[in-house]
Chain A
Amino acid sequence: MALFQSLFGMLYQFGDTFAFLVIACAGLAVIFGMMGVINLAHGEFIMCGAYVTASLARVGVPLPMAVLAGALAAGFVGVIVERLVIRHLYHRPLDSIIATWGISLIATQGVLIFLGSTMQGVGTPLGSVDIGGRFYSIYRFVLMGAAVGLLGGLYLLFYHTRFGVIARATIQKPQMAHALGVNTGRMYGLTFGLGAALAGLAGGLYAPTMTMVPTMGATFIVESFVTVVVGGADIFVGAAPAVAILAFIKTGLTAWYGQLFGQIGLLVTVILVIRVLPGGLSGWLKGTTR
């Protein structure tokens, strides 16, 4: 029984970390992988999704609807931001880092000024379940399911829909796509919007488990970056294995040495991966399979 307990415990922790990394990084990965833009306002899109979700849930909107609305709201903001700012910076990736940092400053402080320093959250739904003498939050299992669904959904979207194919074509050969009559500007806008919406979804999904403050996005951002870098430029090939490896490293280190080493382990992994595999996991996987 004790063996089952600790085995299941490990598995649960792994799944929990896996879900967090997938959900946190999806939006950043789409924007970085598809457009080469490092979005430092990623955390603020997450905060936007969380705030909208929590506000709606507290006036009685069912949580799934509220989460969806949070994602849509963040996506909508994303489309506007792309049109006003990001669009002018595609050829200047370093400048887009600065611009998104500026957006992040404005968003965090703006929310603090207009909505106050904190907001009442929504409670975690669904209660808990007793497995082998330990209690586990059922909502955490929902998050794991959502992570797997998210990976599958993104795969289907980008490989089996017209939008996905055109989007990938646009990103790989913009001039060619343009010549073929694709409205490349709109594709970029939609892709950025999708990335922002995924960030909003992350905020919505985690809103019931976290403290609602304007800086809440910051707790996601380091982990998101780590995952994207380890995954490499092609997120569809690299993200899932990257998340699996990182979740394994983090779970292991946290379980045996505590939270600090879980954190440091992640960051050291990034540095090592970049040194050994400059193209990230996806670059390495593609290099060996071609």
Chain B
Amino acid sequence: MTKLLQVSGLCKAFGGVVVADKIDFSLSAGAMHCLIGPNGAGKSSFFRLLLGEHAPDAGTITFDGDDITHLRSFQRIRRGISVKFQVPGIFKALSVRQNLEVAFQSHLSGSQLEQTIHEMLEFTELSHVVATPAGVLSHGQQQWLEIAMAVGVEPKLLLLDEPTAGMSPDETRKTGDMLNELNNRGITILAVEHDMAFVEQISKRVTVLHFGSIFAEGTIAEIVDHMGVQEIYLGTVDDG
């Protein structure tokens, strides 16, 4: 099976702080993968490197067969990477519909645009608030809106940074269902997550990041059993 994303020897340091230390990582098309690790492990920095917000000191990133190491963020997005941030990155002064328009209009127009907006509103159950300014939505709804914005561009790879942060257990479960559905539709997903129950709900394989390098990788069961992982990570999580 060809790899959709191939990262090799990725390094990045800020002054003395190493946030990525020779990371080798790959993702097959169609995977549903979680990235875990304690605070400061370098998860967010890894995302930023993938998105082109930081330039790596060394290493390459290959996506869908092309070297994207030196592309700018928006160019990577146009090649099929999409992202949803931890803090909802929605446009609070714009309505739900406008948010979706901004997200999709770069590649869709006319009836296609209408149809996609309609589909995404249905999918995220936001149809009834279509005209509401996004800033007044509930936290969960804001998260879903952003997922819709990230998904509507039909990405090959969807990056999710703690998609359930701040959600109620009910909202978390619903989000998990959504992501599974998306994965079934063929979107490759890479998520950073703290909530192990949620990781179990969605993920087939898990990678543990620690001090900027890959500490362990395997199925969820393997990782849970891994002694070292428990020491560095699970032991510190109170509600694991």
Chain A in direct contact with chain B (Cβ < 8 angstroms): yes
Binding site for B on A (CB under 8 A): 290
Residue of A nearest to B16 (CB): A290
| B interface, size bucket | under 10
Give complex CA distance A290, B14 in Å.
Answer: 8
Tell me the dominant secondary structure on chain A's binding face: loop
Q: Does B15 contact A (CB under 8 A)?
A: yes
Residue of B nearest to A287 (CB): B15
Residues of A within 8 A of B15 (CB): 290
Residue of B nearest to A290 (CB): B15
Give complex CA distance A290, B16 in Å.
Answer: 7
The 3 closest A-B pairs by CB, nearest first: A290-B15, A290-B14, A290-B16
Give complex CA distance A162, B21 in Å.
Answer: 40
What 0/1 readout, one digit per residue, does chain B (117-129) give for beta carbons within 8 Å of chain A?
0000000000000
Q: How far is the CB of A237 from chain B (nearest CB, A)?
A: 15
Binding site for A on B (CB under 8 A): 14-16
A-B contact pairs, 3 of them (CB 8 A): A290-B14, A290-B15, A290-B16
Residues of B within 8 A of A290 (CB): 14-16
Q: How far is the CB of A62 from chain B (nearest CB, A)?
A: 51
Give complex CA distance A290, B17 in Å.
Answer: 10
Give complex CA distance A48, B238 in Å.
Answer: 60
Give complex CA distance A290, B15 in Å.
Answer: 5
Residue of A nearest to B14 (CB): A290
Q: How far is the CB of B83 from chain A (nearest CB, A)?
A: 24
Residues of A within 8 A of B16 (CB): 290
Q: How far is the CB of B161 from chain A (nearest CB, A)?
A: 23
Residue of B nearest to A289 (CB): B15
Residues of A within 8 A of B14 (CB): 290
Q: How far is the CB of B45 from chain A (nearest CB, A)?
A: 16
Give complex CA distance A178, B158 in Å.
Answer: 39
Give complex CA distance A23, B15 in Å.
Answer: 34
Give complex CA distance A290, B13 in Å.
Answer: 11
Residue of A nearest to B15 (CB): A290
Q: How far is the CB of B93 from chain A (nearest CB, A)?
A: 15
Give complex CA distance A217, B16 in Å.
Answer: 45
Residue of B nearest to A288 (CB): B15
Q: How far is the CB of B224 from chain A (nearest CB, A)?
A: 36
Give complex CA distance A253, B15 in Å.
Answer: 37
Give complex CA distance A183, B188 in Å.
Answer: 50
Q: How far is the CB of B55 from chain A (nearest CB, A)?
A: 14
Q: How far is the CB of B87 from chain A (nearest CB, A)?
A: 16
Q: How far is the CB of A287 from chain B (nearest CB, A)?
A: 9
Give complex CA distance A230, B163 in Å.
Answer: 41
Residue of A nearest to B17 (CB): A290
Give complex CA distance A20, B37 in Å.
Answer: 54
Q: How far is the CB of B115 from chain A (nearest CB, A)?
A: 40
Give complex CA distance A119, B14 in Å.
Answer: 56
Q: How far is the CB of B152 from chain A (nearest CB, A)?
A: 32
Q: How far is the CB of B13 from chain A (nearest CB, A)?
A: 11
Q: How far is the CB of B111 from chain A (nearest CB, A)?
A: 40
Q: How far is the CB of B79 from chain A (nearest CB, A)?
A: 28
